[in-house]
Amino acid sequence: MANTPTPHIGAQFGEIAETVIMAGDPLRAKLMAEKFLENPVQFNNVRGMLGFTGTHKGKRVSVMGHGMGMPSIGIYTYELYNFYGVKTIIRVGSAGSINHDLHVGDLVVAMGACTNSNYVAQFELPGQYAPIATFDLVRKAVESCEKFGFNYKVGNVVSSDMFYCENAHNDKWMNMGVLAVEMEVAALYMNAARSGNRALGILTVSDHILTGEVTTAEERQNSFTNMMEVAFSLV
């Protein structure tokens, strides 16, 4: 296609599969390629945002980093959906729990994503918009969590534009039943909706905002594989 390569992805059209599993950290994408893909071929290294295509149990799939925050995932997923023919994007990432029953290592299947971002303003909608996941992906993810015996919850997350926030108001989000805080899912869901495609966020609790439980950067990069198992079961 004339639009590829894009300013941010160096691949030619056809080098990326219709299903892409994405992580904020490009080294996590590299880990997924090494652990889950047969015969992975690197298709992107622009700005160090690694991407690979291979097969998983005979099915073609790509993995790629998306960076931190909604502006970053917004760029990559827009280009994937609109220029590379991608139909399904699954984000695997970390989140901070604001739920007393979700602890470090537990999974969150993000059925919906609240946000404090102004990302939705570009669509000029005449009211509030509720970004949601693709239902069949949610259902299959839940079935996989049950099959694997992983601890999980399904529900709302909040995608924040700020990591360091002077007034996060996490107690107010918690009072509305929001499970965890992360930084990207809402933009993913909006881009999927606008392009008529599919999306899901599967998150691992990396820290607990209420109790102070934490993990290291190395643990977040290398040991959060349960959410990857679930994501690849959806391919």
| Domains of the chain in sequence order | 19-233 (3.40.50.1580)
- Residue 1's pLDDT is what? 56
Give residue 220's pLDDT band: very low, low, confident or very high (50, 70, 90): low
pLDDT tens for each residue of 139-157: 999 999 999 999 999 999 9
pLDDT tens for each residue of 36-49: 999 999 999 999 99
> Cα-Cα-Cα-Cα dihedral of 212, 218, 223, 225, to 10°?
100
What is the pairing mode between strands 51-56 and 38-44?
antiparallel
Q: Are 91 and 202 in contact, with CB atoms under 8 Å apart? A: yes
- Residue 191's pLDDT is what? 98
- Residue 57's pLDDT is what? 97
Backbone angles phi, psi at 64, to 5 degrees: -160, 150
Residue 22 pLDDT exceeds 70: yes
Q: Are 199 and 133 in contact, with CB atoms under 8 Å apart? A: yes
How many whole angstroms separate alpha carbon 19 and alpha carbon 59?
A: 10
Residue 182 pLDDT exceeds 80: yes
Give residue 184's pLDDT band: very low, low, confident or very high (50, 70, 90): very high
Q: Which of 84-88, 171-175, 176-180, 205-209 has the lowest mean pLDDT?
A: 205-209
**What would the two tokens of residue 49 be?**
């945002």
HSE-up (13 A, CA, CB side) for residue 110:
38
Give residue 215's pLDDT band: very low, low, confident or very high (50, 70, 90): confident
- Residue 221's pLDDT is what? 64
For the chain, what is the radius of gyration of the CA atoms? 17
Q: Which of 106, 136, 171, 207 is catalytic?
A: 207
Residue 223 pLDDT exceeds 70: no
Residue 177 pLDDT exceeds 80: yes
Average pLDDT, the chain: 95
HSE-up (13 A, CA, CB side) for residue 22:
31
Model-level pTM? Answer: 0.95
How many whole angstroms separate alpha carbon 4 and alpha carbon 79?
A: 9
Q: If we measure between CA atoms, which residue out of 162, 160, 180, 210 comes closest to residue 109?
A: 180
Catalytic site includes residue 207: yes
- Residue 214's pLDDT is what? 80
pLDDT mean over 182-209: 97
- Residue 222's pLDDT is what? 67
